[in-house]
Amino acid sequence: MKQNSKTVLMNASANTSGVSTLTASVDTKGFGYARILCLVNNTVSLGTVVTNNSLEEGDDTSTFSAVTAAAPGTGWTPGTVTASSVTTLAKLAYNVDLRGRKRYLKVTLGLAATSAGVFITADLSNPGDGCGTAAEQGANVSVQI
In a domain, 144, yes or no: no
87-134 tens-digit pLDDT: 555 677 888 899 889 999 998 887 766 556 778 899 999 887 777 777
Is 121 a member of any domain? yes
Residue 80 has pLDDT above 50, yes or no: no
Q: Could you tell me if residue 145 is inside a domain? A: no
b/e string for 6-43 if b means 16 or more Cβ within 10 A? bebebbebeeeeebbebebbbebebbebbbbbbbbbee
Q: What is the domain extent for residue 53? A: 5-132
Q: Which residues, 6+ apart, have CB-to-CB distance to 121 below 8 Å?
A: 7, 8, 9, 10, 36, 37, 39
User: Mean per-residue pLDDT for 51-72?
Assistant: 78
2-37 pLDDT, tens digit each: 668 888 888 877 665 666 778 899 999 989 999 998
**Structural domains of the chain, count:** 1
Domain presence at residue 85: yes
The CA distance from 26 to 61, in Å, is 9
Helix or strand holding residue 132 (H, E): none
Structural domain contains residue 141: no
Instruction: Please report whether residue 93 resides in a domain.
Output: yes
Residue 139 lies in a domain: no
Residue length of the chain: 145
Q: Which of the pair, 69 or 102, is modelled with greater confidence?
A: 102
Per-residue pLDDT tens digits for 93-105: 888 899 889 999 9
Q: What is the CATH number of the domain that holds 58?
A: 2.60.120
* 138 in any annotated domain: no
- Which of 122, 89, 91, 95 is CA-nearest to residue 109? 91
Give me the mean pLDDT over the 76-86 stretch: 50
